[in-house]
Amino acid sequence: MNLGKLFFTSAFAFTVGILISGCASPRGDASQPMLSVLAQFENAPAKGPAEADNPVRPLPGNGTNAAMTMESLPGNGLAQHPFLYYGEGNNVLYVVNHGKVVWTYAFPKGGEIDDAWMLSNGHIICTVMNHCYEVTPQKKIVWAYDCPANTEVHALQPVGLDKVMIVQNGLPPRLFILDKKDNSVVMKHELSVTNAADPKSVHLQSRNCRLTAQGTYLITFLKGVRVVEYDKDWKEISTLKAETPWNAIRLKNGNTLIPGDDHACVHELNPKGEIVWAIEKNDLPGIELRDIQSANRLANGNTVFCNRAWGAGGNRFRVVQVIEVTPDKKVVWALRDWNHLGSATGIQLLDQPGIPEKPGDLQR
């Protein structure tokens, strides 16, 4: 039986119709539904039953690094947007609202947070490499998935409030859609191994893969230097060449937004694979771009991306963590706040239209 066909035949109404009816009904401005969720984080306990202690991380001192973090930069710092934030090397989820960190959740040492989403019911789902979790604003774990031995998950995406798509790096790697009620498999598909230099390397296979509004799959092959799109029957639609693609976002204009991780770039590619817009390593004077691990297009046409300070060593505090640019590459927000936030892998701006659990609803 073709499980991919089964999923999209029997559950098509789920992805298009039931998805909408199964989402939390937003209050307030329907164009910014996630804002109504933020009140749930205001009276959370200081620490959840299964929560780890916040890690002790280096902070800016009283010298040059401290001055760099306090330096005036474009935008309003933490007050520019409300957002969910996370980063490798610091296993903590952060929720920022009203210009301050209003909520955190710390996971034990080991692994790395590479993908996370706040849902329309206020829950946050994330992967910490060897485990996936769903945590409520009251800091209760209500879903978990443990990776089998010698596998890792660096990509997950909500599909409604009751299902989740994960890409499990392994030999072989596989994509699953799981029912969170019991982790039963709704759909699975075996993916190819693309790291020719080290075909037995699990860690560097894929990062943030996505299910689009059209029901297609965008699979990033980090060391395979490409992003491949498959239809619902797993027929290859297109292959886009991309250097160390960390994530891939399908835009409403049909193009694909791809950050280049250690190549420190963001490229928008058209269906022919041509670069039609880009941020390159040296395009933003005064801002050092290092490892750009995720990027998203906003409703106003701006692009926001995360700039991880990998390899910066003692100079990490000089690195701007999040950058928002206009289509003509003007920086309107540059966030550097190492006192309150760790390294930057991903950010979800919560003042945008759409709800995350409806695949493609956040596409711009």
Say whether pLDDT at 200 is over 90.
Answer: no
pLDDT (mean) for 11-19: 38
Say whether pLDDT at 2 is over 50.
Answer: no
Say whether pLDDT at 296 is over 60.
Answer: yes
| Model pLDDT, residue 364 | 83
Say whether pLDDT at 52 is over 60.
Answer: yes
Distance CA 225, CA 241 (A): 6
For residue 135, give both structure tokens. Answer: 């945590």
- Return phi, psi of residue 79, to 5°: -90, 0
pLDDT (mean) for 334-353: 97
Averaged confidence pLDDT in the chain: 90
- For the chain, list the domains and their CATH numbers: 3-349 (2.120.10.30)
| Model pLDDT, residue 11 | 41
| 94-127 per-position pLDDT tens digit | 999 999 999 999 999 999 999 999 999 999 999 9
Say whether pLDDT at 76 is over 90.
Answer: yes
| Model pLDDT, residue 68 | 67
pLDDT (mean) for 161-180: 97
| Model pLDDT, residue 309 | 85
| Model pLDDT, residue 199 | 83
Distance CA 345, CA 144 (A): 21
Distance CA 141, CA 157 (A): 17
3-state SS record for the chain: CCHHHHHHHHCHHHHHHHHHHCCCCCCCCCCCHHHHHHHHHCCCCCCCCCCCCCCCCCCCCCCHHHHHHHCCCCCCHHHCCCEEEEECCEEEEEEEECCEEEEEEECCCCCCCCEEEECCCCCEEEECECEEEEECCCCCEEEEEECCCCCEEEEEEEECCCEEEEEEECCCCEEEEEECCCCEEEEEEECCCCCCCCCCCCCCCCCECEECCCCCEEEEECCCCEEEEECCCCCEEEEEECCCCCECEECCCCCEEEECECCCCEEEECCCCCEEEEECCCCCCCCCCCEEEEEEECCCCCEEEEEECCCCHHHHHHCCCEEEECCCCCEEEEECCCCCCCCCCEEEECCCCCCCCCCCCCCC
Specify whether the CB–CB gap between 364 and 252 falls below 8 A.
yes
Least confident of 57-61, 242-246, 251-255: 57-61
| 32-50 per-position pLDDT tens digit | 999 999 999 999 999 999 9
Would you place residue 69 in the very low, low, confident or very high pLDDT band (cuts 50, 70, 90)? low
Q: How many CB atoms lie under 10 A from the CB of residue 221?
A: 24
Say whether pLDDT at 339 is over 80.
Answer: yes
Distance CA 194, CA 261 (A): 17
| Model pLDDT, residue 254 | 96
Distance CA 228, CA 219 (A): 5
